[in-house]
Structure 1
Amino acid sequence: MSLVLGMILDAVFGEPRWIWSRLPHPAVLMGRTVGWCDRQFNTGEQRQRNGLLVMVGLGTGALMLGWLITLVPGVWLDVIVIAVLLAQKSLVDHVQAVADALRLSVGDARRSVAMIVGRDTRGMDGPAVARGAIESAAENLSDGVIAPIFWCAVAGLPGLLLYKITNTADSMIGYRTPRHEAFGWAAARFDDLLNLIPARLTALLIWAATKCPAPSPILRDAPLHRSPNAGWPEAAMAHGLGIALSGPRSYDGEIRDYPFVNEEGARDLGPDHIDAAVATLWKTWAISLGLVMLLAFL
């Protein structure tokens, strides 16, 4: 029942600025911890080993912290922690902001979408902005909503905190760069493992929430994505909305010629398509809430 209440609390209130302008957000504290580990241990000739040991330490610490929180009498601390570590309302707000900005100007939309994508945004036209926002919506629905819900349902607060610290580490050090390819290897692989089931579950939920007639196109297109997991929710969103996602984009001034997901889908995207993606986020969340409630009552 704590998970049900946490999901509702997050969906209603999101990230209240009056709190997090005064206190550091737990995700910020996790990021600082990972950053400290990066500075301290990403050195020498055994960086891959060091990165593995860091992830073992971070994961153990997260499990212990989650267990300690469960020892506090009552359910409200559990509910608050769950609500804080979910990102449904925050995700919806950020994606909707891109649609609202795109209705004003492409320049406003570029600045808005830059907050939720890692690619170069300076040269984006309107359809590219919309595509980036929708891709971010699909991927972050999996990483920021469904995966935390899944691991909380499976292993309680320890599972939720283990997932969040792993996902945070992957977002900071899990890159194939000269500095992080060895040290961040364990973070990236562990994150892939923890997202293996949730990513596919997210695709199933999106499929259920949209009018995609059959799951077979999703099964066909998901492996086209460069990520072993992100392609699943993205393919489901693309086929559910009848649009083409992914495709060429620029990172650090270099064009990456990625294939389109649902290549035959619409490409002239605009704010109305982002609105449809936001509606899908809420429909998917509602189905998830129903499933969690069913599990709780069972």
Structure 2
Amino acid sequence: MSHAAVLCLAMLLDAAMGEPRWMWDRAPHPAVLIGRVIGKADARLNTGENRFAKGVALCVALGVGAWLLGSVLAAIGWLPELLLAAILLAQRSLVQHVQAVGDALRVSLGDGKRAVAMIVSRDTAAMDQSDVARSAIESAAENLSDGVIAPAFWFLIAGLPGLLIYKAINTADSMIGYRTERYEQFGKAAARLDDLLNWIPARLTAILIAVTYRTLGDWGAIRADAALHRSPNAGWPEAAMARALGIAVSGPRTYDGELRDFPFVNADGRRTVTPDDIDIACSALWRTWGLAVGTVLFFAVV
């Protein structure tokens, strides 16, 4: 069975099943296992001299290990590929986490803050309703790229080995890819590799959103807005989502008590953002996913 056919089935299985709690209450999620390996490497290697070289060595080890594991599982047959790919895609769980913020925000601002704190790293104490809703929508757009389109893209390109390499590097970036005193050197390789692996998927995600919402004619504005973002990749799906919903995203926010004056993406968009906009963003996630599945199905048939 072709990579495209397996991927199409995996995307459908993920959308139908998501991440069953009964399963992950009994066994660790593969992403958790990857995280444990990275955590142990961080504790043992991120000390003393040559931290950058040690970080490079960790990324090489993760890549080689992921490739070997993926190759062995793929050699068994298409079923292990299908099941693991479905597990490592995150469409249904992404929509559930984002929708939970909108549902909580309708109950109270405090409930909304607690819900959004589960999916973003910024400070939530001083957020108003628009800040909470905007944060959820930004997370939806960015994680659509990182958690759905990028892993699907790398599976389509290189099968299960490609998907596992992507997840390993992406997990490493989320754990050690920070510009802090502790991780500036050790996590630099993971951060740069993650930027590289997400370069095409981020722009592909923006195209899929724009096609779905017929805003592809605004591509020049989307590209200009994406350039305002602090990330070389996250700005693309966020800019496309902002145009699709007609809202402004990004903007000033607080991390660890420090206000950072980031520019707004789609600055002319509406700045009052509500739970209804979160509902529309969740619909956008499914519509974009549907276009992605249709595209993969086309490749599978052709």
TM-score clears 0.5? yes
Per the alignment, residue 158 of structure 1 pairs with: 161
Matched position secondary structure for 1:255: strand
Q: Which amino acid aligns with 1:118?
A: S
- RMSD in angstroms over aligned alpha carbons? 0.7
Matching residue within 10, 14, 20 for 2:14: 10
- Hey, what does 1:58 align to over in structure 2? 62
What number of residue pairs does the alignment pair up? Answer: 297
1:33 corresponds, among 31, 37, 55, to 37
TM-score in terms of structure 2 length: 0.97
Identity across matched positions, percent: 61
Instruction: Please report how far the alpha carbon of residue 297 of structure 1 lies from its aligned counterpart in structure 2 after TM superposition.
Output: 1.2
Partner of 2:85: 82
Partner amino acid for 2:138?
A: E
Unaligned runs of 5+ in 1: none
Q: Say which SS state the counterpart of residue 263 (structure 1) adopts.
A: coil
**Which letter does structure 2 place at the counterpart of 1:187?**
A
> What is the CA distance between 1:210 and its match in structure 2?
1.4
State the alpha-carbon separation in 2 of the partners of residues 223 and 196 from structure 1.
13
Instruction: Write out per-residue CA displacement over residues 151-207 of structure 1, whole angstroms, 9 at most, x where no aligned residue.
Output: 000000000000000000000000000000000000000000000000000000010
The alignment partner of 2:181 has SS state of coil
Instruction: Return the offset for 1:211.
Output: 3.8
Task: Give the aligned partner of residue 229 of structure 1.
Answer: 233
Distance in 2, matches of 1:152 and 1:219, equals 26
1:209: how far off? 1.4
The alignment status of 1:112 with 2:115, answered yes or no, reads: yes
Query: Which of 211, 221, 226 in structure 2 is aligned with 1:217?
Result: 221
1:19 paired to 2:23: yes
Q: Which residue is 1:178 aligned to?
A: 181
Q: Who is 1:141 aligned against?
A: 144
Q: For residue 74 of structure 2, what is the aligned residue in structure 1?
A: 70
Equivalent AA in structure 1 for residue 150 of structure 2 = A
2:134 matched to which residue of 1?
131
- 1:271 paired with 2:275, answer yes
Q: How far apart are the structure 1 equivalents of 2:101 and 2:218?
A: 30
Is 1:191 equivalent to 2:194 in the alignment?
Answer: yes
Q: Does 1:238 align with 2:242?
A: yes
Does 2:289 match 1:289? Answer: no
Partner of 1:195: helix, strand, or coil? helix
Deviations 1:220-264 (A, max 9, x none): 110000000000000000111100000000000000000000001
Question: C-alpha distance in 2, partners of 1:85/1:295?
Answer: 21
Amino acid at match of 2:247: I
The alpha-carbon deviation at position 135 of structure 1 amounts to 0.2
Displacement after TM superposition at 1:214 (Å): 2.3
2-structure distance, mates of 1:41, 1:254: 30
- Residue number in structure 1 paired with 2:99: 96
DSSP 3-state at the match of 1:250: strand
Residues in 2 aligned to 1:151 and 1:19: alpha-carbon distance in whole angstroms: 25
Aligned to 1:10, the other structure's residue is in SS state: helix
- Mean Cα deviation higher: 249-258 or 210-219: 210-219
Distance 1:76 1:90 in 2: 22
The code of the aligned residue for 1:290 comes to G
* 1:33 maps to amino acid: V
TM-score (norm 1): 0.99
Distance 2:160 2:81 in 1: 7
Structure 2 CA distance for aligned equivalents of residues 59 and 36 of structure 1 = 16
Q: Which runs of 5+ in 2 are unaligned?
A: none
